[in-house]
Amino acid sequence: MTDPAPVLDDDPFSDDFLADPYPRHERIRDAGPVVRLSRYGIWASARHEQVFAALTDWRTFSSASGVGLADFRKEKPWRVPSLLLEADPPGHTQVREVMAQVLSPRRVRGLRERFAPVADELVSDLVERGSFDAVRDLAEVFPLRVFPDAVGLPEEGREHLLRYGDMAFNGFGPRNDLFGRAMADAEQVQAWITAACRRENLAAGGLGRDIWAFADTGTITQEQAAMLVRSLLSAGVDTTVYAIGNALAALTAHPGQWARLHDDPTLAKHAFEEAIRYESPVQTFFRTTTRTTDLGGVWIGPGEKILLFLGAANRDPRKWENPHTLEITRRAAGHVGFGMGVHGCVGQQIARLEGDVVLSALAERAATLTPTAAPVLRPNNTLRGFSSAPIQVDKATVRRR
Ligand code: OVM
């Protein structure tokens, strides 16, 4: 007993959609729990209940055919598939456990003492300036100041990291202009990334070498070790740049919320979490069905691509009160901005650490954030965020705590 799915002709990767996704998400959510997108001949869901259900059922909703539009069983992927992202259990489980150990809560706690002073210094310089670009001067600067060192990457050529992230995330979409532009010079960027993943190019004491240590004990092969370092470099830079930029833009647009955060900077981690719900850096991922299934009363056959709108699920009024408002003290738990289930972001504690130290440093020092121009969108087939968000800050005079 299933309902026919509504057919919509939206292109979620078009300039118009990417520029103003939220009203379009609403239309898709309201059309039904699962819809058909005729442009691409795929299924899609923008509701929290169905997105969550698909993410937590890897047996039915597989990642092994790719988590972008391309179906790896029919099209050659643009890069060797990730052992983590583009794989299912049991193969996935083994490498995931290695990554979970490398990125353990203990390890991440140890990174705080290195990350926090960098955030403090960067933020205090910017606040002294009085006005700065929240994206160009902070969101794009901070992760690149801490993460490559934490991994142990070579100094030379780190500018390739953002370009590679741009390739990876545009690469999940269709072969549109965004895809094509991101892939210009792909070979040069990929050559640097491949070299950076080699054991001899990774500094002792870094996360990269920690991954390689599992090759030394025979838990994984050398080829797997290099590929897992590649995962860190694919997923670990642009995501945090966009997340911090989006959090700053959202807090600038909600001055009352900034006032609360300034009043109690210990709320920074809640503010960051809520910002990920409110303006999710990773907007979409796909799955491929392995068998016939009923999702929200809609019958889907095997071997079908389904687009999961994470960013829309995170604003579904069926799940959230006032979903289109940033409320830093709300319980944002249950958002799917980091995914959910076996593929839920393995680096989420590092992402949260980066967001926390930046937002708490700024909350301590800036009494107000005022936009001096509208944020400028940086369109991407998967990521939502800005290339610029100019702000003016009022320096706090006396701290209350
Ligand atoms: C990967 C990976 C994992 C998560 C996200 C991602 C580019 C990549 O394992 O390569 O986005």
State the burial class of residue 106 (Cβ atoms within 10 Å of its Cβ: 0-12, 13-18, 19+): exposed
Give, using CA atoms, the residue closest to atom 6 of ligand 1: 235
Class of the CATH domain delimited by 7-395: mainly alpha
Give, using CA atoms, the residue closest to atom 11 of ligand 1: 235
Give, using CA atoms, the residue closest to atom 10 of ligand 1: 231
Regarding pTM above 0.95, the answer is yes
Q: Which of 82, 83, 161 for a ligand 1 pocket mutation test, highest count of atoms within 8 Å of Cβ? A: 82
Give, using CA atoms, the residue closest to atom 4 of ligand 1: 235
Q: Which of 63, 194, 234 for a ligand 1 pocket mutation test, highest count of atoms within 8 Å of Cβ? A: 234
Tokens encoding 189: 């960027």
> Distances from the Cα of 379 to the Cαs of 167, 240, 382, 386, in angstroms?
12, 16, 9, 8
Q: Is the dihedral of CA 162, 163, 165, 170 positive or negative?
A: positive
Domain boundaries of the chain, sorted by first residue? 7-395
Condensed to tens digits (0 to 9), the pLDDT of residues 59-107 reads 999 999 999 999 999 999 999 999 999 999 999 999 999 999 999 999 9
- For ligand 1, residues with CB inside 6 Å are 82, 84-85, 168-169, 231, 234-235
CA of 262 to the centre of ligand 1 (A): 34
Number of neighbours of residue 377 by Cβ within 10 angstroms: 15
Condensed to tens digits (0 to 9), the pLDDT of residues 347-383 reads 999 999 999 999 999 999 999 999 999 999 999 999 9
Contact 368, 393 (CB under 8 A): yes
Tokens encoding 263: 């009043």
Q: How far apart are CA 111 and CA 146, in angstroms?
A: 9
Condensed to tens digits (0 to 9), the pLDDT of residues 145-180 reads 999 999 999 999 999 999 999 999 999 999 999 999
Q: How far apart are CA 261 and CA 367, in angstroms?
A: 9
Ligand 1 atom showing the smallest separation from residue 84 Cα: 9
